[in-house]
Amino acid sequence: MFIQISHARRNLLLILVIISSVGYYGCLPVPSATNLVVDGHLVASDQVRMMVARGETIENVKVRLGMPNLNLGPGRIFVYLWAEKEGTVIFLLPGLAPLASEAATSSHLFFVAFDSSGVVLETGTSEFGVFSTVTEEVRQWRSTSNLVAEVTGPRPVENGNQAMLFVYRKQRSQCPFPTFDSNIFKPSIAVNGQVVGDLSKGEYLGINVDPGAQLVTIDPVPAYRIVGREEGSFTSSVSQNRIVATAPVNTRIGEKLYVEIYLCTGLGAVQANVEVRDAASGFLAIEPLAPAW
């Protein structure tokens, strides 16, 4: 777990962390001389903020910044991510012999919020915590930016042109012993290849989709969660041993489709699971859950 701290306190805290880590935890943080952007683009710079100022169209944002890591809504908030390497954590055996290393990185999010016509309302940034979801960071940013009324979370509505898709993750799951559903992992949900959100346990995501064939993909360790940390032994192992799940479904106009997901962790891997539920059981399942954002 990495704690984001201000640069002003970093040097003092680093000394304390080195002393305590070597003495008690068997790990040694080694800082970089300068922070390096190891993946993504530093999209929070003032220059890029000007490129996506209020009034820009969604098409112009795509041209200038490329496709987002996440398209929440979809089409209401674009989320871009980049990572900076701040150093390396070396794990030590008794006697201070090096065992493994893991990159110490800080991850950052850049948000672009659109109105219902596809015009930029606001932009902003956030630190991306190890145990947060992107949708959680979006909720907090909307609240602190006073955008809750202008940028509503995705709430599917009944209309004569689309279907409604609900993807949910219950607090408890049916993982066979000795595996279990760990909330450490925050799986991404993609529809037809576009990531539309991620889920903690006890949450659901609902969106409108066009009728026809849909492919729902659940990735237990999506690429944007390990960006900049691929060199670490733990991160590499988890990423390589993850098992992605997919559910091909067909939606009809006015239909409500429910998809349950859960992760089973253990035995050296984290496996995504997906089950399509009937309307009655799906409705009852999401009733006690919280919307993802």
205 domain residue, yes or no: yes
- Give the pLDDT confidence of 212-253 residue by residue, as tens digits: 999 999 999 887 777 655 455 556 666 678 999 999 999 999
The residue from 83, 117, 144 where one domain ends is: 144
Query: What pLDDT is stored for residue 129 in this prediction?
Result: 77
Tell whether 121 and 195 lie within a shared domain: no
Tell whether 90 and 202 lie within a shared domain: no
220 domain residue, yes or no: yes
Instruction: Of 185, 181, 251, give the one whose Cα is nearest residue 213.
Output: 251
Number of domains comprising the chain: 2
156 domain residue, yes or no: no
98 domain residue, yes or no: yes
Handedness of CA 182, 187, 189, 192 (dihedral sign): negative
CATH number of the structural domain spanning residue 267: 2.60.40
Tell whether 19 and 97 lie within a shared domain: yes
**Lowest pLDDT segment from 97-101, 170-174, 180-184, 190-194:** 97-101
- Give the pLDDT confidence of 248-284 residue by residue, as tens digits: 999 999 999 999 999 998 877 899 999 999 999 999 9
Tell whether 179 and 227 lie within a shared domain: yes
Fill in the amino acid letter for 279.
Answer: A
Instruction: Of 172, 166, 208, give the one whose Cα is nearest residue 189.
Output: 166
The contacts of residue 251 (CB under 8 Å, 6+ apart) are 163, 165, 209, 210, 211, 212, 214, 257
- Reply yes or no on whether the pLDDT at 205 is more than 90: yes
135 domain residue, yes or no: yes
Tell whether 75 and 185 lie within a shared domain: no
Instruction: Of 102, 123, 134, 112, give the one whose Cα is nearest residue 224.
Output: 134
Q: Using CA atoms, how far apart are residues 293 and 286, in angstroms rounded to an integer? A: 14
Query: What pLDDT is stored for residue 14 in this prediction?
Result: 41
Tell whether 14 and 140 lie within a shared domain: yes
Domain that holds residue 131: 7-144
Tell whether 86 and 202 lie within a shared domain: no
CB 168 within 8 A of CB 205: yes
Tell whether 175 and 137 lie within a shared domain: no
Tell whether 73 and 197 lie within a shared domain: no
Look at 4 and 189; give whichever has higher pLDDT.
189
265 domain residue, yes or no: yes
- Give the pLDDT confidence of 7-52 residue by residue, as tens digits: 444 444 443 333 344 343 444 444 444 444 444 555 545 555 566 7
Instruction: Of 161, 156, 126, 157, give the one whose Cα is nearest residue 142.
Output: 126
Tell whether 189 and 283 lie within a shared domain: yes
Tell whether 12 and 124 lie within a shared domain: yes
271 domain residue, yes or no: yes
Tell whether 131 and 80 lie within a shared domain: yes
155 domain residue, yes or no: no
Q: What percent of the chain has pLDDT over 70?
A: 70
